[in-house]
């Protein structure tokens, strides 16, 4: 297997130089990609965010009256704040096989491989198109892609299938867990700690809710439901952050709990949280009875659905035939794939270069070998979409509704 092409590494260097941390604009990168595609005669559509400081990009290579395959990836990255890097995270640093930089694995390596393949895609006489979908704000809850989904609902022809290029070491992932994140805010009544009975301690009031999370998490580990194809085969719950109080000698008037649920695809997180919401209602009424300004509120921070594809489906077999890595797996991290599947009915798989073991970490890297594997896959995909027989197989596979 050949290592990454010079074109791919050069493009990765350009992409890494754009600081697209989720709290910043991605427009410079998006405009770079748009102009790069225009050089090949490919028109890109930009779907801006509500604030106008970010955008998704969508482009079609080949015939526009056929469904084809969509290659999807996000352009944003996580912060480097507080991380000890051995090199500038926004300058690609090569050390042998490893290419270091923020986003090399998650997931600008995939974007670079796709863009390096665009000239060959544009030259090919494709019988079915290749669509490119590059999003923003994936790292903060798969938020940015939702405006692209709304735009795609109006498309006369949608992609027949999608491959999301998150880092899987170029192994085909057919499923991942969903996520639901929320915030509980408990309001009590402050007073001097020497007169504590006259106040309402918000931190202590939150204790039953903390115990509910601990108990429910333990019950999930013991009782399931289980999906043994995941490394952690059950739904997990955790309290990620807690904040409350101002000083030791003041009864705390506020307590905030941020939590998340990572559910196996067959479990409904809203149903799982129904007892929690009942406990919140009970506690809210109890606190209000003590003081009208006290109480408990619940708000949602974000969610995305799990992904579940039939592992023995024809679409999976077709994509596997284009990969050097046999076998299927289920991944523990979330992606936009479940949204494409749920919102648009597009059968979606996950496969990309690099490993999430390096994603979000200091000295993040992807190897030249992994990028080379991705480029080889994209070349075989392009060849397949230029073959009418392979396209007919794709159409049959997607018509059979591989998603479950």
193-207 confidence digits (pLDDT tens): 999 999 999 999 999
Q: Which of 39, 88, 137, 138 is catalytic?
A: 138
Mean pLDDT of 336-346: 94
The residues near 222 (Cβ < 8 Å, ≥ 6 apart) are: none
Calculate the CA 84 to chain-centre distance: 24
Output b/e per residue, 267-304; b: 16+ Cβ within 10 A. bebeebbeebeebbeebbeebeeeeeebbbebeeeebb
Q: What is the pairing mode between strands 69-74 and 130-135?
A: parallel
Our CA dihedral for 229, 339, 118, 95, rounded to 10 degrees, sits at -50
- Mean pLDDT is lowest, of 287-301, 331-345, 384-398, for 384-398
Beta strands in 62-135 (DSSP E): 69-74, 93-95, 98-100, 130-135
Q: What is the mean pLDDT of residues 169-186?
A: 95
- Report the alpha-carbon distance of residue 167 to residue 95 in Å, rounded: 20
pLDDT digits (tens, 9 = 90+) for 121-144: 999 999 999 999 999 999 998 999
What's the pLDDT at 403?
41
Q: pLDDT tens digits for 71-96?
A: 999 999 999 999 999 999 999 999 99
Distances (CA, A) of 143 to 17, 52, 54, 109, 240: 23, 14, 12, 21, 20
The SS3 call for residue 242 is strand
Is residue 88 part of the annotated active site? The answer reads no
What would the pLDDT profile of 97-107 be if each residue is shown by its tens digit? 999 999 999 99
pLDDT of res. 401? 55
Low-confidence winner among 40-54, 63-77, 298-312 (lowest mean pLDDT): 298-312
Structure tokens at 42: 């490919």
pLDDT for position 400: 67
Q: What is the mean pLDDT of residues 375-379?
A: 97
Residue 328 confidence (pLDDT): 84
pTM of the prediction? Answer: 0.89
Does residue 325 register a pLDDT over 80? no
Residue 332: pLDDT band by 50, 70, 90 thresholds?
Answer: confident
Question: Where is pLDDT greater, at 229 or 213?
Answer: 213
Alpha helices in 236-333 (DSSP H): 269-272, 274-290, 314-321
pLDDT over 80 at 327, yes or no: no
What's the whole-number mean pLDDT along residues 207-227? Answer: 96
Domain map (residue ranges) of the chain: 6-176+306-399, 178-304
pLDDT value for 45: 97
Tokens (6 digits) for 197: 């009975």
Arithmetic mean of pLDDT, 388-402 = 79
User: Left (φ > 0), alpha (ψ -120 to 50) or beta: where does 24 sit?
Assistant: beta
- The one-character DSSP state at 168 is B
d(C-alpha 49, C-alpha 66), whole Å: 28
Residue in 10, 23, 53, 76 annotated catalytic? 76
Give me the pLDDT at residue 404, please: 39
> Cα 337 to chain center, whole Å?
8
| Class at the top of the CATH hierarchy for domain 178-304 | alpha beta
Closest CA relative to residue 44, chosen from 32, 58, 26? 58
- Residue 138 appears among annotated catalytic residues: yes
Which class is domain 6-176+306-399?
alpha beta
């Amino acid at each position: 297997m050949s290592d990454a092409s010079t074109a791919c590494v050069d493009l990765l260097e350009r992409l890494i130089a754009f600081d697209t941390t989720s709290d910043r604009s991605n427009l410079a990168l998006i405009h770079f990609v748009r102009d790069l595609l225009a050089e090949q005669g490919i028109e890109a559509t930009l779907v801006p965010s509500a604030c106008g400081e970010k955008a998704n990009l969508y482009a079609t290579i080949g015939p526009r009256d056929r469904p084809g395959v969509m290659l999807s990836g996000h352009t944003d990255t996580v912060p480097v704040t507080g991380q000890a890097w051995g090199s500038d995270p926004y300058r690609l640093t090569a050390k042998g096989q490893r290419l270091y930089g923020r986003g090399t694995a998650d997931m600008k390596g995939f974007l670079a491989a796709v863009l390096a393949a665009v000239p060959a895609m544009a030259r090919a006489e494709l019988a079915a198109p290749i669509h490119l979908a590059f999003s923003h704000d994936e790292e903060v809850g798969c938020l940015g892609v939702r405006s692209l989904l709304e735009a795609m609902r109006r498309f006369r022809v949608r992609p027949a299938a999608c491959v999301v290029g998150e880092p899987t070491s170029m192994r085909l992932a057919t499923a991942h867990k969903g996520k639901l994140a929320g915030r509980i805010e408990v309001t009590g009544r402050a007073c001097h700690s020497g007169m504590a009975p006259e106040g309402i301690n918000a931190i202590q009031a939150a204790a039953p809710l903390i115990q509910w999370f601990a108990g429910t998490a333990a019950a999930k580990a013991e009782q399931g439901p289980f999906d043994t194809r995941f490394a952690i085969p059950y739904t997990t719950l955790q309290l990620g952050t807690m904040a409350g109080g101002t000083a030791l000698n003041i009864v705390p008037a506020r307590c905030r709990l941020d939590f998340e649920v990572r559910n196996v695809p067959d479990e409904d997180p809203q149903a799982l949280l129904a007892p929690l919401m009942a406990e919140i209602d009970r506690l809210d009424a109890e606190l209000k009875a003590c003081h009208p300004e006290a109480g408990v509120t619940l708000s949602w921070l974000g969610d995305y659905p799990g992904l579940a594809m039939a592992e023995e489906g024809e679409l999976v077999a077709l994509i596997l035939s284009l990969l050097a890595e046999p076998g299927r797996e289920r991944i523990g991290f979330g992606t936009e794939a479940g949204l494409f599947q749920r919102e648009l009915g597009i059968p979606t798989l996950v496969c990309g270069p690099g490993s999430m073991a390096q994603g979000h970490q200091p000295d993040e890297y992807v190897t030249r070998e992994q990028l080379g594997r991705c480029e080889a896959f994209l070349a075989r995909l392009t060849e397949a979409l230029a073959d009418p027989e392979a396209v007919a197989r794709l159409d049959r596979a997607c018509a059979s509704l591989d998603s479950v």
